[in-house]
Amino acid sequence: MRIALAQLDYTVGDLDGNAVKILDAYRRACTRGAELVVFSELAVCGYPPRDLLLKQSFVSDTKAALENIARGMSVVPAIVGYVDSNEEKTGRPFRNAAAFIEGGQVRQRIWKTLLPTYDVFDEDRYFEPAASVELVQCGEVQLAVTICEDIWNQETFWSGQEDRSGQPLYQRDPLKELCEAGAEIIVNISASPFMLGKERLRHDLLTAVVQHYQRPLVYVNQVGGNDELIFDGNSMALDAQGQLLAHSRAFEEDLVIVDTNAGRPVYFHAQCEEEALYHALVLGLRDYAGKCGFKGLVLGLSGGIDSAVVGALAAAAVGPRNVIGVSMPSRFSSDHSKSDAEQLARNLGIRYMTIPIEPAHKAFQEMLGHAFAGMKPDATEENIQARVRGVILMALSNKFGNMLITTGNKSEMATGYCTLYGDMCGGLAVISDVPKTMIYRLARWMNREHEIIPAGSITKPPSAELRPNQTDQDSLPPYDQLDRILKAYVEEHSSAMEIIASGEPEPVVRDVVRRVDVNEYKRKQAPPGLKVSGRAFGIGRRMPIAQRYTEANLKRNE
């Protein structure tokens, strides 16, 4: 069967715009001889719709849009993801559904069985799972139509999808049920978010599925950025022996036609981490700005590596002419920091401004002089500088209509090495899920052909430059050590004692753990950040703020 993999970038809630995309791809696929056109999970409304589902008219409008899409299609059948109503008297009000459309009508409705509730997923909040599965008859072929998670409970790949207690998440395996019922081709429509390493993981999982069930498989994933989530696409098709027959482009819309009977194997090439991260961040930033109605971006340029990398991502996302980089030197700013910021702007071709903060900083010192009389300067005065910069950047954002983006990395966000209402001001935290050590790797990857990030920004010791001769390592452990501890504690959920047992110094571990725990209140007030790791700060990590449990003070079990 000739099947079209329609990998598209949808905007959540843009029912008309998404319908136009779907019908345009459908017509192009028909022109190219497709016998079935497959679209991704919740394509009609975009994924994830979250509490838009609770608006009284949203689901009915989505279903009406689906009917209009069906009427716009010809005799070639299609599979389209959408939101359905749960007509039963009990259960959650909606279904995560796929429509099998043929001859201008919805012929069959398939409901998702496995509803994830881990990490960023919250589908059990809205959707009722399918109580049973059924095959889809497409011409002479019986299809097993599954929706994203339905295919991830595969025991041949791992011992079930397990939570921290070691218990499988699901009692059912809908794919196994469908194959036992006589499925000939497996179809999976998905909205699987990006994280580093996910491309290889998906390929290996799908290969294991095919090799176990000995059926061809077609997998269609969403692409694009929706809020914090980035969808990388990487749709693919495999033959019954597990050979890759087709692979859509990563981080781009694509339309691929594959013949499951006569296709020729292709080579699977996974991007290196730096390349995948770069394209993910550019896509996430471009879509967040564009879908929120911003054409331009503004950011502060300190001359350091973080703002340099974010500046380069911004120029790639919206074009250099739509980016304003702002140097805001103080009396503590070094000459090389100022020159590195200016050099970056020249390398990128972005608009560049210099606005010294010394007059405003001095004014605040004079205004607060009486209140602070007899008290020694401390972080309070340092933070005033960061907050002055935040005011300047927000003023430029308001005046020019450019969205302000922040430049703090994950290492800083984790430990609270950032200033509320200062360098945390902005509409999107572009690299808040990227550790400092990865920022260095990304910068060097960007410079692989010619210099984009100034060499000085990479080689000089990182510093906030809020006091004389300041460096980050005055307050934090070396970043390679810090990032190891943070990965273990935040992403892998290791305990402080487990991290210490792995060889990290106990005083350092306890200090880092304490910083992570006590700075939750800052992260709750931070702008949304693009998720690229297995555990990002934000919607996937739900820690209480007012709580007293911390592993930093726990005693060893003797």
59 and 137 in a single domain? The answer is yes
Specify the residue for token string 């020694």: 376
User: Would you place residue 556 in the very low, low, confident or very high pLDDT band (cuts 50, 70, 90)?
Assistant: low
Rounded to two decimals, the pTM is: 0.94
- Percentage with pLDDT > 90 across the chain: 84
**pLDDT tens digits for 411-426?**
999 999 999 999 999 9
Q: Does a structural domain hold residue 487?
A: no
Burial 59-71 (b: 16+ CB within 10 A, else e): bebbbebbeebbe
- 351 plus 428 within the same structural domain: yes
- 414 in the same domain as 389: yes
Q: How confident is the model at residue 158 (pLDDT cuts 50, 70, 90)?
A: low
pLDDT band at residue 261 using 50, 70 and 90 as cut-offs:
confident
Structure tokens at 151: 């295919």
Which pair of tokens denotes residue 54? Answer: 């609770």
Residue from 45, 148, 418, 425 carrying the catalytic annotation: 148
- Tell me what the mean pLDDT of segment 274-281 comes to: 98
CA 518 to chain centre: 25
Same domain assignment for residues 300 and 172: no
Active site residue 112: yes
Residue pair 429/406 in contact (Cβ under 8 Å)? The answer is yes
Q: Is residue 515 part of a domain?
A: no
Q: Which listed residue (35, 63, 102, 112) is catalytic? A: 112
Residue 430: φ, ψ to 5°: -65, -40
Instruction: Supply the CATH number for residue 104's domain.
Output: 3.60.110.10
In the chain, what's the furthest Cα-to-Cα distance? 87
Shared-domain flag, residues 108 and 195: yes
CATH number at residue 372: 3.40.50.620
Q: How distant, in Å, are the alpha carbons of 163, 275, 515 from that of 500?
A: 24, 33, 16
350 belongs to a structural domain: yes
Least confident of 159-168, 207-216, 347-356, 549-558: 159-168
Quick one: pLDDT at residue 392? 97
Kindly state whether residues 198 and 337 are assigned to the same domain: no
For residues 201 and 147, membership in a common domain is answered with yes
* Domain identity same for 325 and 446: yes
Whether 250 and 380 map to the same domain: the answer is no
Closest CA to 146 of 116, 122, 176: 176
Q: Which amino acid is at 321?
A: R
List, as one string, the DSSP characters of 236-259. EEE-TTS-EEEEPPBTS-EEEEEE
Q: For residue range 489-514, list pLDDT tens digits in order.
A: 999 999 999 999 999 999 999 999 99
Q: Which amino acid is at 220?
A: V
Domain co-membership, 234 together with 292:
no
Residue 512 lies in a domain: no
H helix intervals, 151-304? 174-180, 198-213, 273-291
User: Residue ranges of the alpha helices (H) in 157-225?
Assistant: 174-180, 198-213
The pLDDT score that the predictor gives to residue 160 is 42
> 518 lies in a domain?
no
Q: Which of 7-11, 266-270, 370-374, 523-527 has the lowest mean pLDDT?
A: 266-270
Range of the domain at 176: 2-262
Close Cβ partners of 155 (under 8 Å, ≥ 6 residues apart)? 173
Tell me the pLDDT tens digit for each residue of 24-61: 999 999 999 999 999 999 999 999 999 999 998 999 99
Give 3-state DSSP helix, strand, coil % of the chain, rounded to 5: 40, 20, 45
Question: How many domains does the structure of the chain reveal?
Answer: 2
What whole-number distance in Å separates Cα of residue 128 and Cα of residue 53?
Answer: 13
**355 or 262: which leads in pLDDT:** 355
Residue of 35, 41, 123, 128 marked active site = 41
Same domain, 288 and 212: no
Same domain, 181 and 230: yes
